[in-house]
């Protein structure tokens, strides 16, 4: 069910998404039949990282702010062009995940969530990577 960089490239090419589209994570809930039943949160991607040790493309989201907030949605800093410029033959089969840093007690941890799909909103020039929304906030 999780997606790879090659899946993301195929979707972008198939849909003709513009390189200037801003990149966001969209968390959804899915019913027992596998259909999307609702949206949990939307958060801008703030950084892209390719991790050769874990073979992952990490799309970093920021923690702490209310997830669906117009000023936050307008603050996305990463575009499709940024991601596309970093893709090479060596990382096309990497898994794509959102990555979020969190504080637990005295430790700092990174929570990686696999991408399950893609989408776009051409009117708002936004491209989405879709994750399962098991939390109320990113």
Q: What is the mean pLDDT of residues 47-56?
A: 93
| Residue 113 covered by a domain | yes
- Domain of 19, in residue numbers: 5-132
The answer to whether the CB of 77 falls within 8 A of the CB of 59 is no
Q: Write down the pLDDT at residue 66.
A: 44
| Residue 98 covered by a domain | yes
Q: What is the mean pLDDT of residues 71-79?
A: 64
Residues 6+ positions from 62 with CB-CB distance below 8 Å: 43, 44, 46, 100, 138
Token digits for 29?
């809930």
Prediction pTM value? 0.83
Q: With 80 as the cut, is the pLDDT of residue 64 above it?
A: no
Structurally, the chain folds into a number of domains equal to 1
| Residue 115 covered by a domain | yes
Token digits for 110?
């990174």
Q: Write down the pLDDT at residue 88.
A: 94
| Residue 106 covered by a domain | yes
| Residue 137 covered by a domain | no
């Amino acid at each position: 069910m999780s997606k790879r960089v090659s899946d993301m490239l195929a979707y972008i090419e198939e849909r003709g998404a513009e390189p200037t589209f801003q990149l966001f994570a969209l968390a959804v809930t899915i019913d027992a039949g596998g259909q999307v039943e609702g949206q949990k949160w939307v958060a801008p991607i703030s950084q892209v990282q390719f991790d050769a040790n874990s073979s992952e493309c990490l799309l970093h989201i920021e923690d702490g702010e209310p997830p669906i907030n117009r000023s936050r949605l307008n603050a996305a800093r990463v575009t499709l062009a940024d991601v596309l410029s970093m893709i090479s033959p060596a990382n096309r089969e990497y898994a794509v995940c959102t990555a979020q840093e969190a504080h637990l007690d005295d430790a700092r941890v990174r929570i990686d969530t696999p991408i399950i799909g893609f989408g776009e909103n051409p009117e708002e020039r936004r491209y989405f990577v879709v994750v399962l929304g098991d939390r109320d906030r990113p």
